Amino acid sequence: MTPPRICALVGRFSDPRVAESAQAVLAHLAGRGVPVRVDAAAALASSPGAIGVPLAELGRSADLMIAVGGDGTLLYAAGLVARHGVPLLGINRGRLGFLTDVMPQDIPECLDAALAGRLDADERPLLLARLHQADGTSSECLALNDVVLQKLATGRMLDFETRVTGRYVNTHAGDGIVVASATGSTAYALSCGGPIIEPQLDILVLAPICPHTLSDRPILVSGGSVVEIRLLERPDTRAQVTCDGTILGTLVPGGRLQIQRATERITLLHPPGHEYFRLLRSKLHWGRGDIER
C-alpha cells in the first residue's frame, strides 16, 4: 500500500472506550506529523491534532480512513469511502470484530506500519442494491456485508419471489431474505443458517430469514449474478430494504429490488501476518486447547 499523507478518523466518540483509542490515534499521528480529519460535528474535532471537516468531505479528503469501534463502525466508514478508493483500517473496540482486527494495545505499531506502507491490503467486492418503485423512481446504495429485505411494521409474513440473472428460483414465505457477499457471510446471513465463506471467493449468499417452509434453505450463487426480489400481493404488504444496516427504502408490490456486484471495491488493511482462519478460530472460539497449529 502507498503510505498515507492524510488520515480520516471515524467512530462513536461518545463511547469512552472509543474516545480513548481515538485520542491515542490522534496523539500518535500528530507525533509523526500526519494530519487527521474528523467530522466537524463530532466532539473530537476540538481535540489537539484533529482537523474538522464536513462529513460529506471526510471520505474523499484522506489517503487512509481509520474506523474505531466495532464492525458496524467499519461498515459505516466503508460507506463514506466506497466511491473514493480510500483504504480502511479498523481498530476494534466492539465485540467480535471480524473486520476491525487491530487491538487497542497494537495501535502505535500498526499506525507506524501504515505510515511505512507495510500493512497487508485486502480487496473486497461491494454489493450494489437498486430499489425500483412501481412509479418509475429508483434509489441505490452500496454494501460491503449484505443487503437485507425484511418485513416492516405489520408483523405479518412476507410472500416474495427470487430470480437469479432472470431465472426463477423460489417463492418464499417468511420474514425476509439476506443477500450477502463472502465478506458478509459471517454477519446476519450466518445467523440465518448460512455458511462461512472465505472472503476471496466470488460468491453471493441468499439466506431466507425465518422461512415458513423448513426446506427453504440458504443457497450460494455466482458473484456475477443479478439477484431480483419482488413482493407478492398481500394485505398491508411492505418490506424495508437495508444496506449494511442503512435504510435504502421501502419495497411494496409492483416494485423490485436488484442486487449485484458493484464496480467499486473496498480495500481493508490488516496488520502483517493477518490470516483469515486464525481470525475465525479467535472470534468463534474454535479449536481445542491453546496450541497454534
Residues annotated as catalytic (active site), given as ranges = 71
* Angle, alpha carbons 282-270-105 (nearest 5°): 65
Which residues lie below 8 Å from residue 154, measured CB to CB, with a gap of 6+? Answer: 236, 237, 238
Quickly count: other Cβ atoms within 10 Å of residue 149's Cβ.
27
User: What cell does 120 get?
Assistant: 497487508
User: What cell does 76 get?
Assistant: 459505516
Judge whether 53 and 69 are in contact, CB under 8 Å.
Answer: no
Which residues, listed in sequence order, are joined to residue 288 by a DSSP beta bridge? none
Q: Which stretches of 153-237 are DSSP H helices?
A: 188-191
User: What cell does 32 get?
Assistant: 509523526
